[in-house]
Structure 1
Amino acid sequence: MIMQPRKILAKQIGRKFIRVLFSGFAVLFVSGWLNILGPSSALGAEGKPLPRSLIIATHAVGTGFHADGSVVAKMVSERSPMTMVVRPHPGPPAWLPGMNNGEIEFGVIVGSDGATAYRGVGAHRKAYPNMRLLMIGAPMHLSFWAPVASPIKTTADLKGKRVPSGWAGLPIIQYTGGAALANGGLTWDDVVKVPVAELAENLRAFMEGRTDVLWHSVGAPAVQEANVRISGGVRPVAIRTSPESLKRMADFNPGTYMMMLKKGAAVGIVEDVPLQSEDITVVAPAQLPEEVVAAILKVLWDSNDELRKVTPRMRAWTRERMVSTQAAVPYHPAAIKFFRDKGVWSPDMEPLQQKLLGR
């Protein structure tokens, strides 16, 4: 049977419509998968694609660690093709499992917390062996604080005194505070333990006269408040500086070391004083691709002058501090390559890196 011209035309149009429709579905399918996989159009090292977005985990909103992570995220998002999203948590135990599995790309953590989490000791019953150091930021100084008129001058003077303890909500402080006691040749059994759950309760106990000392970091608002409300102000309890004392402190809480603060460096620093210190660090999983690590470090290195102006806390986030022999977690291989290329990976770092990899 011979088809009419009108029917032939309709059949041809139908076939063309099906081809166009199929092509459209193919484009949508491929585009959808590209969006799911997430690489941006930008390329990293060796021409490998960079992800569209990244996560940086921090402590809760309102903490200094959240502020630090927010500054890092701002720089990365503004100066690279990647968007870095800040994801706050109650504390590192909430995000460390995700990082160890490679599900979270970056995190902000203090040195001793990272060191104990990496090894599965102290406050961390489980080890997170895939944690790697991206860079070191500013130092944080921790101390017991006493009224200026108090006879408690050094950590050894805390024997028999009423000291905040327990720290159910922040178990890492049981170790940082315990390290201060160890520095003075003491243990928690040598003091009168006054249970507190977290920092706010610790401040209340001190202000109400239930403890003889306050535990906090230099520059914390709580220290400023205590300095105003306590007659004569407050000052930090100095750590002892003998090699034996410093070793006891570091052995009790790996990642801590001594720094001398000059008079007037912050509220309550009424004279030059040696204090327990540790570093604020940015960590990443060992599984994180090298091109991503290199791209992030390039932003933070190249934009360092601007980074340090965003908040007062960021002033000490210098290029010179990014690599340190105080590191307590091994560096990511791509970070080592980056810092070698910049000429800041010193010969002393290689034996330290190998030692840390041995955990």
Structure 2
Amino acid sequence: MGQVLACRSRQRHLSDLAEIVYRKEVPVPRLQRRFCLREHRARPPARARRLAFGVSLLSLAFAAACGASPDAESPADEAVEGGTEGSAQTTGDAASIATHAVGLSYHTVGSALASLISNHSDISATVVATAGPNAWMPDLEAGNVDFGLLSVVDVGWSMEGGPGYENPAEHLRTVAQGAALHGSGLTVRADSGIERIEDLAGRRVASDYGGNVISARFVELGLESVGVGWDNVDAVPVADVSTGIDALRNGQVDAISGAAPTSPNLLDAHVATPVRILPVGNHTPADIADGVPSETQEMIDRLIPGATLATQPAGTGMLEEETVLIQHRVQLVSSDHVTADTVYAALDALWENYEEMHDAHPLAQWVPEDMVPSAPRAPYHEGAVQFYEDQGVWTDEHQQAQEELQTATAG
């Protein structure tokens, strides 16, 4: 079963790639070969496009004057093969943002962020779609991608070399905190007859989620919250969230980690085959009206540190009634391979023009007052520190947390 799903996942990725080519999106050669990644280059400002056109004409004229061979390898091609394509530190005017796969909320937000940065700075920002942070973190650490979007939960795990991360992240740096993400947790087809988590006993449940371990933890949390173990279900490995959604839609599994109810992939699946969310602990909004029960929160802290439960209203994505979901924050991160000037310029564009992202997706509802958490799980980038100091929002509490994290990282 796992091999079948993996094969179909490859077919889906090829379909995604065809769509990207249709949209004139440009692949990152080395990363594409390594991870089957896809990228979307946000359209640069008119000034940059005119400059690029002029440079192209000059290059053609120079090549003709010097009698250059049309088959000669260009320095740009050589640099791409060399291994830091997209790095703002290397190119000076380009930056890549790693996200989840096309069709998921993180990718939608990343595309909006790339467009905003490109339109309001001298940086040409590119989105690189992957299975999730467990897939792209090694390249951020190596300086092959410049920014990444992920959950605050994954920030903590990556710093510790926790679930899904082979080694602690030494170069990871916080840039900004985004909106609250509300994950569906266990999700089933509405026509399955499954009403409560206990009904999953003996059923096929998606597992593993190799490129995005937090999704596997959502499944584990849901099962454990009612005393159901992996030995009570039939675990079916899937590659990532999109693969799981496809498997549920096609009847290959009975329950998945359903991503956010606003995710384009889950919305599409819901239109074709209506789905139902099974809240953690089968909790209703009334159950958490006065706070999450302590035993439930303790379980969340153990399995998904940094998350909690929250109620989302009917009409949020595919929700038809008030529903208890798993809440955690999205964060924009970078690495110390990226220059302070690049991070400062990206933050300046975001800080001054954040409202331009708001129509893209509920997860794109970023606001300055939430962007600078005083208790980050990774040290701030030096460019971010300088920017927040200049805005007057960097406090003694921020500085203390920064020094503690820097000491822990150095150790």
TM-score (norm 2): 0.63
Amino acid paired to 1:328: R
Distance 1:332 1:200, change over 3 A: closer
Distance 1:322 1:158, change over 3 A: farther
Distance 1:326 1:160, change over 3 A: farther
Distance 1:133 1:158, change over 3 A: farther
Provide the secondary structure at the position in 2 that maps to 1:118. Answer: helix
* Contact 1:163–1:191 under 8 Å retained in 2: no
Distance 1:86 1:165, change over 3 A: closer
Q: What is the rounded CA distance, in whole Å, between the counterparts of 2:174 and 2:350 in structure 1?
A: 14
Compare the two structures and name the one with the higher strand fraction: 1
Distance 1:228 1:64, change over 3 A: closer
Amino acid paired to 2:168: A
Name the stretch that deviates more: 159-168 or 260-269.
159-168
Shift of 1:216: 0.6
* Contact 1:255–1:327 under 8 Å retained in 2: no
Cα offsets for 1:186-215 (capped at 9, x unmatched): 474364133131445534654576755342
Structure 2: runs of 5+ lacking an equivalent: 1-74, 80-90, 284-291
Report 1:1-359 matches (<5 A): 51-142=92-183, 143-146=185-188, 152-153=195-196, 157=198, 160=201, 162=203, 164-167=205-208, 169-172=210-213, 173-182=215-224, 184=225, 186=227, 188-189=229-230, 191-198=232-239, 199=241, 202-203=244-245, 206=248, 212-217=254-259, 218-224=261-267, 227-228=270-271, 234-239=276-281, 241-271=292-322, 273-309=323-359, 311-313=360-362, 315-324=364-373, 327-345=376-394, 349-350=398-399, 352-353=401-402, 356-357=405-406, 358=408
* Contact 1:254–1:328 under 8 Å retained in 2: no
Shift of 1:145: 2.5
TM-score (norm 1): 0.71
Amino acid paired to 1:242: P
Name the stretch that deviates more: 171-180 or 134-143.
171-180
* Contact 2:207–2:238 under 8 Å retained in 1: yes
Shift of 1:152: 4.4
* Contact 1:114–1:328 under 8 Å retained in 2: yes
Q: What is the rounded CA distance, in whole Å, between the counterparts of 1:200 and 1:102 in structure 2?
A: 27
Q: What is the rounded CA distance, in whole Å, between the counterparts of 2:331 and 2:144 in structure 1?
A: 19
Distance 1:270 1:126, change over 3 A: same
Amino acid paired to 1:312: H
Distance 1:139 1:161, change over 3 A: farther
* Contact 1:160–1:190 under 8 Å retained in 2: no
Provide the secondary structure at the position in 1 that maps to 2:258. Answer: strand
Distance 1:275 1:335, change over 3 A: same
Shift of 1:120: 0.9
Q: What is the rounded CA distance, in whole Å, between the counterparts of 2:366 and 2:127 in structure 1?
A: 19
Amino acid paired to 1:104: V
* Contact 2:223–2:229 under 8 Å retained in 1: yes
* Contact 1:308–1:318 under 8 Å retained in 2: no
* Contact 2:104–2:264 under 8 Å retained in 1: no
* Contact 1:235–1:269 under 8 Å retained in 2: no
Amino acid paired to 1:285: S
Cα offsets for 1:30-58 (capped at 9, x unmatched): xx9xxx9xxxxxxxxxxxxx922222223
* Contact 2:97–2:125 under 8 Å retained in 1: yes
Aligned length: 309
Distance 1:161 1:325, change over 3 A: farther
Q: What is the rounded CA distance, in whole Å, between the counterparts of 1:70 and 1:226 in structure 2?
A: 22
Cα offsets for 1:157-192 (capped at 9, x unmatched): 47736362333544512223223445x164743641
* Contact 1:161–1:212 under 8 Å retained in 2: no
Equivalent residue number for residue 5 of structure 2: none
Structure 1: runs of 5+ lacking an equivalent: 1-31, 37-49
Shift of 1:303: 0.9
Provide the secondary structure at the position in 1 that maps to 2:334. Answer: strand
Q: What is the rounded CA distance, in whole Å, between the counterparts of 1:226 and 1:81 in structure 2?
A: 39
* Contact 1:131–1:285 under 8 Å retained in 2: yes
Amino acid paired to 1:256: A
Q: What is the rounded CA distance, in whole Å, between the counterparts of 2:338 and 2:347 in structure 1?
A: 13
Shift of 1:302: 0.5
* Contact 2:309–2:327 under 8 Å retained in 1: yes
